[in-house]
């Protein structure tokens, strides 16, 4: 197996820079396409600090919300206002559905829309705003995605951007972009952790930063945990304190989204004050609410603990002690919560970095990367594959070609052969997941390699290569070395893994690790014995007087009986015994074959 690493997130060799001239000068922006908000940033002059893209009203956060009527489409704040009047026409948190871009549809205002359609409207809006703000047509972008996005979600994000009129220079992970912003700004080196708690997702990554090399060592997260869950917890408390508020919301369910927006404002105020008394309006009624930071902490403590369990798991995955972490980078507005910062400080025994605004840091890092791709950079940045990639082999076993957490881009190759005499085609079944058996993993694609020369089983040499590019998109190729027959497929699956399925796959791989390994070893031992039995039977029919070998036939019978047993040691023992007993027969068969060839010559 070979593995080749190439430079990632740069278009020039380290140390080599492209010169800006009036002829080639162009602008590319960085976009944090968030679940709750979308932010754009640009680095206008080489070696300067990036700035945020401003809307007409001077703000920089675009709510990731789209509303539809029969004749108009609103994005951002206008769509937010539409929640008060036509909430059924509004789509929010579409990022949660990007992995279902080929199957999920929203029926809004007489239109059938996919997550790709909705995301493209958000990206069109920021493209328009950036072009107005920068006074030139902006067509190039680096877009950030969660570290846990699978192949389908990556492809859908890229397609949405292209539909919006962007040339996508790169898709990069959100925690990676945050590290890029801090790394280039502070020129720091060492081990860094990125704790990213946004509106709808949580990601945690460990990165090594040294001498211009950014490498993601391990990553994990929860695609259904974020600041929105904190809002829901506060609202539940308010309803418990005010039964009339609960009744009013049940009578006017359309008010729920508006109330959650007001609750979010209360939550944000609690980051800087210990208590507050406010009035909330629902319909024509007003409700007095009282909140303290202490009560809020009690509401969210369990959810914060959940993130710390993920943190511990990722550190263990990377074989890193928490005291080895040189710094902690915070990403996402929810990380302004004092309790989160306190619990992280206690956990890591050091205070997190707060030099950059957690709402902006991802977009700023993406802007650095966009500039680097256009004008060159000394920085090399490596992302990783979130799940293992491999193919199905005989008996429904998964042969992993690219392990989870492998740096990308990369290319890995492995050699396979046929399992039957005269086999002229081979089905390549591409698998994603951590389990040992195909039935427990996710199927990505199937294709067939034909034109294999008819040879005895085990003689053809078929090289299967997996290539993952800088955007995380997968190409699988199969090549038969004798004839040169080749087949290739680019994996853009129609639908991907749900967030719950991704978490389940990672958990199940750990929970069933020993059990899966034993199943695999049993299958492999049985297959090896079956292959040897088939080979010996064939030789017995071809070699003169071989059928009179009683000792061999007894061993053969015992081997066939052992196939029904669930005993790895027994299967291996019988396979070894059969191999020893059949050695003279197989040598005689080979000799006869050689003599036959010589006679024909």
In order of 134, 356, 373, 494, 598, the CA distances from 144 in angstroms are 21, 17, 15, 21, 65
Collapse the DSSP code of 55 into the 3-class scheme (helix H, G, I; strand E, B; otherwise coil) and give the result: coil
Name the residue among 192, 181, 201, 251 with its Cα closest to residue 97.
201
Is 229 noted as a catalytic residue in this protein? Answer: no
Identify the active-site residue in 95, 267, 519, 574. 95
Is 488 noted as a catalytic residue in this protein? Answer: no
Name the residue among 372, 368, 366, 306 with its Cα closest to residue 334.
306
Using CA atoms in the order 374, 375, 377, 382, what is the torsion angle rounded to 10 degrees? 0
List the end-to-end C-alpha distance of the chain, in Å, as a whole number: 38
Question: CB pairs under 8 A, 24+ apart, for 52-60?
Answer: 52/360, 52/363, 52/364, 53/29, 53/126, 53/129, 53/130, 53/133, 53/134, 54/129, 54/133, 55/129, 56/129, 56/132, 60/360
29-7-398 Cα angle (round to 5): 105
Identify the active-site residue in 117, 151, 196, 248. 196
Name the residue among 174, 173, 169, 148 with its Cα closest to residue 158.
169
CA 227 to chain centre: 21
d(CA 578, CA 570): 12
Is 349 noted as a catalytic residue in this protein? Answer: no
Residue 106 CB contacts under 8 Å (≥ 6 apart), including other chains:
91, 112, 113, 114, 115, 118
251 phi/psi in degrees, rounded to 5: -75, -30
Is 302 noted as a catalytic residue in this protein? Answer: no
Identify the active-site residue in 133, 174, 392, 471. 174
Rg for the chain, CA atoms, rounded: 29
Positions marked active-site: 32, 95, 174, 196
């Amino acid at each position: 197996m070979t593995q080749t690493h190439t430079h990632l997130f740069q278009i020039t060799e380290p140390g080599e820079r492209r010169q800006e001239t009036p002829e080639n000068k162009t602008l590319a922006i960085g976009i944090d396409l968030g679940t709750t908000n979308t932010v754009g940033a640009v680095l206008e002059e080489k070696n300067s600090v990036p700035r945020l893209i401003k809307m007409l009203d001077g703000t920089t956060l675009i709510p990731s919300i789209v509303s539809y009527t029969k004749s108009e489409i609103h994005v951002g704040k206008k769509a937010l206002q539409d929640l008060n009047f036509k909430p059924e026409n509004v789509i929010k948190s579409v990022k949660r559905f990007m992995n279902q871009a080929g199957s999920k549809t929203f029926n809004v205002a007489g239109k059938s829309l996919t997550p790709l359609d909705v995301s493209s409207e958000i990206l069109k809006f920021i493209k328009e705003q950036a072009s107005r703000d920068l006074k030139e047509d902006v067509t190039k972008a680096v877009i950030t995605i969660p570290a846990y996005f699978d192949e389908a979600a990556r492809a859908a994000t890229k397609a949405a951007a292209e539909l919006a009129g962007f040339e996508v220079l790169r898709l990069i992970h959100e925690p990676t972009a945050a590290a890029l912003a801090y790394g280039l700004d502070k020129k720091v080196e060492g081990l860094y952790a990125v704790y990213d708690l946004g509106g709808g997702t949580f990601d945690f990554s460990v990165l090594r930063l040294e001498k211009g090399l950014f490498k993601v060592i391990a990553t994990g997260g929860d695609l259904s945990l974020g600041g929105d869950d904190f809002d829901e917890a506060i609202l539940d408390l308010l309803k418990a304190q005010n039964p009339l508020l609960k009744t009013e919301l049940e009578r006017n369910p359309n008010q729920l989204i508006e109330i959650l927006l007001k609750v979010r404002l209360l939550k944000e105020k609690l980051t800087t004050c210990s208590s507050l008394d406010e009035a909330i309006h629902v319909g024509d009624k007003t409700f007095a609410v009282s909140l303290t930071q202490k009560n809020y902490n009690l509401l969210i403590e369990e959810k914060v603990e959940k993130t710390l369990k993920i943190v511990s798991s990722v550190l263990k995955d990377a074989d890193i002690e928490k005291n080895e972490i040189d710094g902690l980078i915070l990403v996402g507005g929810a990380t302004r919560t004092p309790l989160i910062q306190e619990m992280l400080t206690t956990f890591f025994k050091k205070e997190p970095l707060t030099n950059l605004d957690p709402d902006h840091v991802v977009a700023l890092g993406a802007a650095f990367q966009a500039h680097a791709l256009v004008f060159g950079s000394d920085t090399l940045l490596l992302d990783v594959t979130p799940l293992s990639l491999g193919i199905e082999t005989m008996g429904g076993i998964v042969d992993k070609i690219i392990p989870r957490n492998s740096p990308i881009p990369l290319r890995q190759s492995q050699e396979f052969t046929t399992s039957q005499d005269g086999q002229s085609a081979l089905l390549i079944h591409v698998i994603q997941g951590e389990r040992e058996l195909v039935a427990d993993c996710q199927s990505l694609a199937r294709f067939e390699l034909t034109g294999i020369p008819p040879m005895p089983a085990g003689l053809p040499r078929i090289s299967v290569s997996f290539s993952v590019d800088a955007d995380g998109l997968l190409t699988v190729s199969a090549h038969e070395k004798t004839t040169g027959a080749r087949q290739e497929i680019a994996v853009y699956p129609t639908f991907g893994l749900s967030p719950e399925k991704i978490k389940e796959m990672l958990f199940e791989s750990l929970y069933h690790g020993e059990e899966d390994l034993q199943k695999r070893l049993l299958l492999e031992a049985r297959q090896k014995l079956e292959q040897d039995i088939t080979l010996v039977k064939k030789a017995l029919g071809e070699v003169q007087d071989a059928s009179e070998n009683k000792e061999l036939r007894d061993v053969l019978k015992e081997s066939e009986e052992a196939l029904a047993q669930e005993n790895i040691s027994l299967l291996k023992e019988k396979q070894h015994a059969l191999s020893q007993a059949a050695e003279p027969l197989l040598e005689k068969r080979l000799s006869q074959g050689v003599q036959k060839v010589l006679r024909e010559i």
